Structure 1
Amino acid sequence: MISNTEKKTFMSRLWYFTLVELLIVIAVIAILAGLLLPALRSVKLKAGEIACLGNLKQLGIANMSYVSDASEYLPYSVTDYQLWDYLLMPYMDYPQDSAAAGGKSGYSIFHCPSGMPTTQVASKFRSRGYSYNHNLTYSTASKLNNISSTSKKLIIADSAGSLNDLEYWTFCKPTHAAMVDRYGYLKNLIYRHNDKTNVLFADGHGKNVSRAFYDTSYIEWVPEDVEW
């Protein structure tokens, strides 16, 4: 028959080994988490990049459809209320709403899923995270068939850090990706995808590009009265 002393000794040893095993399990979990979390983060970033590029390609299809209906003319806005995104909405089965492209009611197609707004505000001034290259339609509407090397001319790009920044962008050199916002603040493309960014070219193909793609030496100002 086992004595009470022997029982206590046995239980003490059992508790000791159980505690050690628990600590080992916790340590193993911590190690695995340390190994898996970076991989999961990488997968999440890649998924955001792919979704963003998908958005741009859909915008490219809508843009080409608009061009086809508009006798080859690219989207050109003559008022604050009918910007390029507003003009493309019908081609993606969205009701035309100048305040809803990326704000409170949000058309997510107009901004990168990795750059969602920090505050839900419905405003035509905060409607998009992508920029349209209005160097191609700088002062008058331009025709797509007048653009040389469409496979090399950037037309839409991921550029807004936040939809709450109250910013628009345009590109000012035909052969470069230089860009500024309307009110004279210099802005760059946003490299949120593993230090790369997504761009759409005038022929409709999208691409993930590095910083070397963007030449910052060609930044210029945009006149106050230019609408896009």
Structure 2
Amino acid sequence: MAVIELKNVQKIYGKGSAQVAALKDVNFTANKGEVVLIMGPSGAGKSTFLTIAGSLQKPTSGEVLVNGQDISSLSSKESNNLRLNKIGFVLQAYNLVPFLTVQEQFELVDKVKKQNNISQTDFQALLKQLGIADLVKKYPGELSGGQQQRVAIARALYANPEILLADEPTASLDSKNVDEVGQLFSFLAKDRNKAVLLVTHDKRLEKYADHIYEMMDGRMTKEK
């Protein structure tokens, strides 16, 4: 069974002559152990797809299934609980708390989600793998964009989600770092059994993808 699935999803904003269809009959499937790219130009509907797949907003029509459960009718509290336990986000703005050190970012996760986070052994291994083990006492403002991005990836994975959603995860990275991050996402999918969904227009990530979906004008087509 797919860990996440969208069936005939539409998202419409506005009314009457101001109505805009951001998603048009979108169908999408992802399994654990896969890296899936959602590609397309700005304005294609990628960000709307991300927020609906992550239960940050609801579709106008259609179904969004996580482990076979339709999440499109969940209450706000139930959606919060789903995101806390099942879905990790790596957003373009990183969303790190500026007055907390790197270590304290993870301690904050422990306060919000008290159970089923990754073990300390796995956590230390993850920090080393991402090359940020020596940054734990630094504040976000002391880090480069690439370092902040790596911390954001680690923080999303710390809560041990089944699904990882990343928005333009390589936007600020050079080709060497893109390869490292691409290899990391592939490792997370295969070795940690995550479904990794990357919303991107970076073609350098294509070689790490098990499947590729193309978005254009709110419509989605499976390319690979």
Q: Which one has the bigger strand percentage? A: 2
Give the TM-score, by structure 1 length: 0.29
* Structure whose alpha-carbon radius of gyration is higher: 1
Give the TM-score, by structure 2 length: 0.29
Q: Which has the higher contact order (CA 8 A, sep 6+)?
A: 2
